[in-house]
Amino acid sequence: MPTGRALAPLGRALCEAVAASGAKLVVPGCEQSVMIIQALANRKSGRIGGVPIPPAIAASLGDPAFYAASLLKSQTLAVARSVGVPVPESVTVHSAAMAVMAAEQIGYPVYLKESFSWAGRGVTRCNDAAALRAAFAATRRSFGFARGVVRRVLDHDWWPVQTDIDLQSGIAGQAAMICALAWHGKMVAGVCAEKLAPINSNGPSIAVQVCHDQVMVDSAEKMIAAMGLHGLVSFDYMLPDDGRPALLIECNPRPVAILNLGVQVGMDFAGLLADLVHGGAAPAEPVLATGSAQTLLFPNALDPAWHCEALARGWHLDMPINEPDIVAAMRDRPEHERPAAPMADSIAA
């Protein structure tokens, strides 16, 4: 793929690759690729840089009417409320004063969130009004008119220039997630997991324990149906300590790392997806993972400190031993992309 963020060369390269491969479905691996696919699917001309956009592009993410709702937290939660899925108390705020007023009603701590963000970026915990005002000001500085002009000139319109800012109640509890296979708005399969250790305070999981939570399964089914999702998707939750049911936090219209666990948890996502792509029928009820493995996820299993921690705790190691080039590339990744050494208070008991 070309370097840079201009849509024309990125889109052209993707369309050429899809056409050459004969692919029937494109599975995005990150938010940037989701947005590129959405931008291509929405192009009325049906072409990008003189290249036709293959039908597989538009067929890969489901109902275009819910593209924004699948990426933007505020819109995701609005859909969730409309179908009865439990969510945290939250509100979209347009000024620091509005944020402080809302926080006084909700109660501190609160989280200030950019509606479009990923991997824990754009999320700030605020314990008081002063911290909240500072976080709001910092978030607003990351946007701006000049930034928008530059993006339009460079053909970066597919990347959001500015999104809502949401204020959400703090929740004492355990982070969790479900990765699901959706087919034309129907949930086909899923695996739930609780986060054992994060890469940072708000970031993605380093280690997980597979679990079963019927509320998470039911809410994922409702959200997939409501948004007409298609392909591999995931949802993030909090499991409150006070006994409330799982609260939906956000949607990711792409797979997450627990997809890789595969046979460890009795789930063959790839096999199920291949069968559907080739005309197979979806099962009457979702196929759910049956295992309960505790797993250190790749590529963190390459880091010596975490590797030793996993062995000491009896965790499985998620290692693609049959893909030496991938292992070598991730072993040599920059230091800033590596997780901090494990600390006892960062690992769930």
Q: Do 47 and 155 lie in a common domain?
A: no
Q: What is the pLDDT of residue 330?
A: 84
77 in any annotated domain: no
Model confidence pLDDT, tens digit, residues 275-321? 999 999 999 999 998 878 899 988 888 888 888 888 899 998 888 88
Q: Do 329 and 203 lie in a common domain?
A: yes
Residues 159, 148: Cα–Cα separation, whole Å: 10
Q: What is the pLDDT of residue 285?
A: 93
Residues 42, 28: Cα–Cα separation, whole Å: 16
Task: Name the stretches of the chain with pLDDT < 50.
Answer: 145-156
Q: Do 193 and 270 lie in a common domain?
A: yes
pTM: 0.87
Q: What is the pLDDT of residue 96?
A: 93
164 in any annotated domain: yes
Containing 177, the helix (H) or strand (E) segment is: strand 173-183
Report the number of distinct structural domains present in the chain: 3
Q: What is the pLDDT of residue 246?
A: 96
Other Cβ atoms less than 10 A from the Cβ of 23: the count is 15
Question: Which CATH number does the domain housing residue 220 bear?
Answer: 3.30.470.20
Q: Which of 216, 249, 255, 220 is nearest to 115 (CA)?
A: 249
Q: Do 305 and 239 lie in a common domain?
A: yes
Q: What is the pLDDT of residue 147?
A: 46
Phi, psi angle pair for 153, to nearest 5°: -65, -40
Q: What is the pLDDT of residue 46?
A: 92
Beta carbons of 172 and 190 less than 8 angstroms apart? no
Q: Do 153 and 184 lie in a common domain?
A: no
Q: What is the pLDDT of residue 30?
A: 85
Q: What is the pLDDT of residue 206?
A: 86
Q: Do 43 and 108 lie in a common domain?
A: no
Q: What is the pLDDT of residue 71?
A: 87
Model confidence pLDDT, tens digit, residues 313-343? 999 888 888 888 988 888 877 765 666 666 5
Instruction: Give the structural domain span for 115.
Output: 89-169
